[in-house]
Structure formats: structure tokens, C-alpha cells
Amino acid sequence: MPVRPITNALTIDVEDYFQVSALAPYIPRHEWPQRPCRVERNVERILLMLDDSGVRATFFTLGWIAERYPQLVKRIAAAGHEVASHGFGHERASDLSRAAFAADIRRAKLLLEDISGQRIRGYRAPSFSIGADNLWAFECLAEAGHQYSSSIYPIRHDHYGMPDAPRFAHRVQHGLLELPVTTARFLDRNWPASGGGYFRLLPYALSRWLLRQVNQRDGQPAIFYFHPWEIDAAQPRIPGLSFKTRFRHYVNLQHTEGRLRRLLADFRWGRMDEVFLGAGSGGATA
């Protein structure tokens, strides 16, 4: 009997181009309201792409965006996707006190639940900013009523990463799972295999091969992520960026949507709650 393909989790971090952590030194937070927002049109493009492919996904939505564009959140929920939290103000968890972090996640959760009509089960920290120095954040998430987090990236990176963390779903608090974004294990090291800038930089065939290794060799569902601004090659260019920041942010934006459409066809995809909480056809748990 043929083996049924593993259902992987497709996730979108709903934030706008000017809210990216790497651009924070160039775009002060007080300038955000004056920047031209492009998140609505980009999310609409993503919703059409998912509808064309018959895929449901999880949208980790920033409270700052939801407060200004509530109809966008309602549109995501009405299309059958999971609404999850990306916090309110896109501040790294590692930069916040415990009290400030708790306030941020509760504000976002209540707002998203009110707008979407969904129970908000999931949370993803901006820039995967939960690590060894702020594991107390998991206690806050459990106390706020979240059932899962996807906030650890088990790699070495100059902006984030916890390379010694477990690679797959594991329980971090009573009632709370941590679902790290996907890595492939080679040469005694974890390698990124879950989207973001790596997906834009690497050849598509390599990204596909890495995901297949996780499905076939590890027998585990993958978690893939991207941002709405990553399909927007016409977004405003920010002056004065360092070469590294400019390259990371703008590389291959014009190719991302085409690659995503191939990815949707090459793998089986679902929402995080379906894949890991048994809310749908996936049902894998830790």
C-alpha cells in the first residue's frame, strides 16, 4: 500500500516590509505610521495563491497590523486559514522584560481573537527571539493560554538561533508545545530548511531536497515560513542599508512567488493546528 505523504505546515508571518528587525536601525518605530503599507495587497496575493493550490495555512499575524487592517484578519479566517499571533509590536522577546513580554502577547491574543472569531492557539516570536536566556517566555505563553509556540530556530545565526535546541516538536510547559522551524541535519550541524531568506537565496531544487530529507529520512513534518513582503519586488527601497542587509532583504524577491507555487505543488501542506494539534488531517503530536 502506498505511504501517504506527510502533511507539512505552511506558515506566513504577517508583517510589512518596514517592520523587519534587520531594518530597525534604518526605520525608527515612530515612522511606521507614515510608511506606505503594502501588506494588504501582498496577503491578498497569497490568499489567491493558496486558494489556487487548495492549501490552508497558518498566518502568524502582528497585532499592529491587525489593529489597522481588521478586515484583512477576517478575510484570512473566512478563507479557512488559522490565525495565530506574532505578538503586537514586533519587538524581540529577548529585548523585553518578562512583564513587557506578557503584556505584548496578551494584547495581541485578545485583539486577534476578537477580530477573527478564532481561538488563538499559536505564537511565533519576532526573529525567533526565544532562546536560552529567556526561556521564561514559555511560562508567559502558557499562562496566556497559547497551546504552541514556533519561536526557536535551532541554527547558528548572527541575529537569532539556539543550535542545541531539539529540532522537532517538544513540550516546554504544561499544555505548551514548541514547534521549531525546520532544519536538516548534516555533518554534525543543523542547516536551515524552512524558508525565509534562505529560500530566496538557495536554488529551489536544494530547498526541495532539504525538505524531502526531513520528510523521508527523519519521518517528520516540516514547518515552512515566509513573509508577505517577500513576494513584493516593487516594495520601496530603503536608502543607506549596509550591503549585507540590502542583499538579505532584496535578493530574488522577483522569483519568490513562482518558487512558492512550485513548493505548494511538490509537498502536502496544512495549518499548524492541523499538523501538530490534531485539529485536522495531520494530527502529529509530541
DSSP secondary structure string for all residues of the chain: -PPPPPEEEEEEEE--GGG-GGGTTTS-GGGGGGSPP-HHHHHHHHHHHHHHHT---EEEE-HHHHHH-HHHHHHHHHTTPEEEE--SS---GGGS-HHHHHHHHHHHHHHHHHHH-S---EE--GGG---GGGTHHHHHHHHHT-SEE-----S--SS---TTS-SS-EEEETTEEE-PPPEEEETTEEEE-SBHHHHHHS-HHHHHHHHHHHHHTS----EEEE-GGGG-TTSPPPTT--HHHHHHHHTTGGGHHHHHHHHHHHSEEE-HHHHHSSSSS-----
Provide the pLDDT confidence category of residue 286 given band limits of 50, 70 and 90. Answer: very low
Q: What pLDDT shows up at residue 3? A: 55
Residue 233: pLDDT band with limits 50, 70, 90: very high
- pLDDT band for 157, please (50, 70, 90 cuts): low
**Please, which pLDDT band fits residue 162 given cuts at 50, 70 and 90?**
confident
Q: Greater confidence, 4 or 235?
A: 235
What does the alpha-carbon distance between residue 124 and residue 9 come to, in Å, rounded to a whole number? 14
> What per-residue confidence (pLDDT) applies to 161?
62
**Count of residues making up the chain:** 286
CA angle (227 as vertex; 68, 115 as ends), nearest 5: 30
Which of the four CATH numbers 3.40.50.720, 3.40.50.450, 3.30.590.10, 3.20.20.370 does domain 7-276 have?
3.20.20.370
The string of pLDDT tens digits covering residues 33-89 is 999 999 999 999 999 999 999 999 999 999 999 999 999 999 999 999 999 999 999
Give the domain ranges of the chain.
7-276
Is 2 a residue whose pLDDT tops 60?
no
**Cα within 13 Å of Cα(196), Cβ side:** 15
pLDDT at 188: 84
- Mean of the pLDDT values across residues 91-114? 97
| Position 283 pLDDT exceeds 50 | no
